[in-house]
Structure 1
């Protein structure tokens, strides 16, 4: 099921071994999602 929320995800849903990659994935998601 797909649900939309007013607040975007705060972390990547993909488990990445490197925390900096996880932050980068979240930042990219926010950039694509837009305001």
Structure 2
């Protein structure tokens, strides 16, 4: 489950805060979640 929006989806790990987030809450260009962007 995404730590930002709660979406039950494939998760990515933010390289700064280590939160597990969905693709909608993750910036693949910078490898960080939208909270750290």
TM-score, normalising length from structure 2?
0.18
In terms of fraction of residues, the more strand-rich structure is 2
Larger Rg: 1
TM-score, normalising length from structure 1?
0.18
